[in-house]
């Protein structure tokens, strides 16, 4: 996860890409192939995340499988496949950059928790970070509408729509997990 994040920074977003408008590079240059390869690795990670859902189902851990979990992981596989297949660089890769950063933190939490290190205070903040991610992505993609950018606007519409849906679903989860008082707390 962190390798993909650092590669995306190094190859694209750290110095060469424009945060305002970055068209897709359809050339056959070595850099275009390197960026496309990083996009491919990102897609493979989304398949790995999706397999997490399948393993929950196979292990009969239904309490871990929510609509949010299924929708998020299935949607990410579909959208990252579209990205890597048809638009393997450009403005939309910022989504993957931010997402790999958030997932690196999230998987660090999982690792430390599996080592029996008390990381329970991280859970709430990771959910907050995920919600911030969707706001940043929606704002970033909305720039396509007021710039003369050679990037497909339908992708921006789709990305913004999915970011809003993810934000609402994660906010709902956050409310019921961390804000709403439980019955035991009010008794």
Residue 184 lies in a domain: no
Please give the backbone phi and psi of residue 167, each rounded to the nearest 5 degrees, phi first: -60, -45
Q: What is the mean pLDDT of the chain?
A: 90
187 lies in some domain: no
Residue 168 placed within a domain: yes
Is 185 part of any domain?
no
The CA radius of gyration of the chain, in Å to the nearest whole number, is 18
- Distance, in Å, from the CA atom of 128 to the CA atom of 143, rounded to the nearest integer, reads 24
Contact 83, 24 (CB under 8 A): no
Neighbours of 181 (CB within 10 A): 7
Write down how long the chain is: 187
Give the model's pLDDT for residue 184.
53
Residue 24 lies in a domain: yes
| Tens digits of residue pLDDT in 50-68 | 998 888 888 877 777 888 8
Is residue 137 one of the residues assigned to a domain?
Answer: yes
Give the tens place of pLDDT for each residue, 76-126.
Answer: 999 999 999 999 999 999 999 999 999 999 999 989 988 988 888 889 999
CA distances (Å), origin 124, targets 19, 46, 167: 29, 23, 15
- pTM equals 0.87
Domain span holding position 26: 1-178
Q: Where are the beta strands (DSSP E) in the chain?
A: none
Q: Which residues are tagged catalytic?
A: 72
- CA atoms within 13 A of residue 153's CA, in its CB half-sphere: 7
Residue that has been written with the tokens 């989504």 in this structure: 95
pLDDT tens for 16-43 read 888 899 999 999 999 999 999 999 999 9
Domain count, the chain: 1
Q: Are 53 and 73 in contact (CB under 8 A)?
A: yes
Domain assignment present for 186: no
Give the Cα separation of 50 and 29 in Å (integer): 32
70 in a structural domain: yes
């Amino acid at each position: 996860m962190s390798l993909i994040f650092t590669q995306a920074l190094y190859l694209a977003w750290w110095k060469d890409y424009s945060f305002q408008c970055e068209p897709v590079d359809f050339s056959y240059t070595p850099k275009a192939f390197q960026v496309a390869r990083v996009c491919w690795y990102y897609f493979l990670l989304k398949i790995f995340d999706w397999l997490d859902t399948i393993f929950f189902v196979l292990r009969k851990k239904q309490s871990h499988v929510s609509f949010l979990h299924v929708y998020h992981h299935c949607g990410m596989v579909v959208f990252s496949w579209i990205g890597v297949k048809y638009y393997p660089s450009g403005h939309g890769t910022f989504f993957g950059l931010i997402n790999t950063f958030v997932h690196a933190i999230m998987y660090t939490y999982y690792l430390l928790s599996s080592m029996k290190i008390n990381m329970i205070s991280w859970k709430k903040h990771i959910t907050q970070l995920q919600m911030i991610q969707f706001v940043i992505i929606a704002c970033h993609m909305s720039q396509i509408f007021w710039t003369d950018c050679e990037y497909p606007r339908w992708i921006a519409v789709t990305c913004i729509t999915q970011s809003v849906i993810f934000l609402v679903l994660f906010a709902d989860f956050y409310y019921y997990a961390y804000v709403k008082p439980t019955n035991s707390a009010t008794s």
